[in-house]
Amino acid sequence: MKRKFLLRICLSVVALSAVLSACQKNSNSTQVTPVVKSEVSAEVLQNIKDLGFSTSEVHKVNDGYLVEGDILLTEENFAEASTSPNLRIAETEQYRTTNLVKSLPRTITISVSNLPTVYATATANAVARYNALSLLIKFQIVSSSGNIQVVGFNQGPSGGYITLGSSGFPTKQGNPYKQIQMNTNAAAYGSNPDVNYITSVLQHEIGHCIGFRHTDYFDRSYSCGGAASNEGASNIGAILIPGTPSTADANSWMLACSNGTDRTFNTNDKIALNYLY
Q: Name which of residues 36 to 75 contact Zn ion (CB under 5 A).
A: 70
Q: Name which of residues 68 to 107 contact Zn ion (CB under 5 A).
A: 70
Please state the closest distance from residue 217 (CB atom) to Zn ion, in A: 9
By CB under 5 A, tell whether 231 contacts Zn ion: no
- Among 58, 54, 22, smallest CA distance to 40 is for 58
Please state the closest distance from residue 69 (CB atom) to Zn ion, in A: 6
Please state the closest distance from residue 15 (CB atom) to Zn ion, in A: 26
Q: Name which of residues 117 to 156 contact Zn ion (CB under 5 A).
A: none
Please state the closest distance from residue 201 (CB atom) to Zn ion, in A: 9
In the bound state with Zn ion, the residue whose beta carbon lies nearer, of 13 and 178, is 178
By CB under 5 A, tell whether 219 contacts Zn ion: no
In the bound state with Zn ion, the residue whose beta carbon lies nearer, of 70 and 231, is 70
In the bound state with Zn ion, the residue whose beta carbon lies nearer, of 70 and 93, is 70
Please state the closest distance from residue 259 (CB atom) to Zn ion, in A: 15
| Residues engaged in binding Zn ion (CB under 5 A) | 70
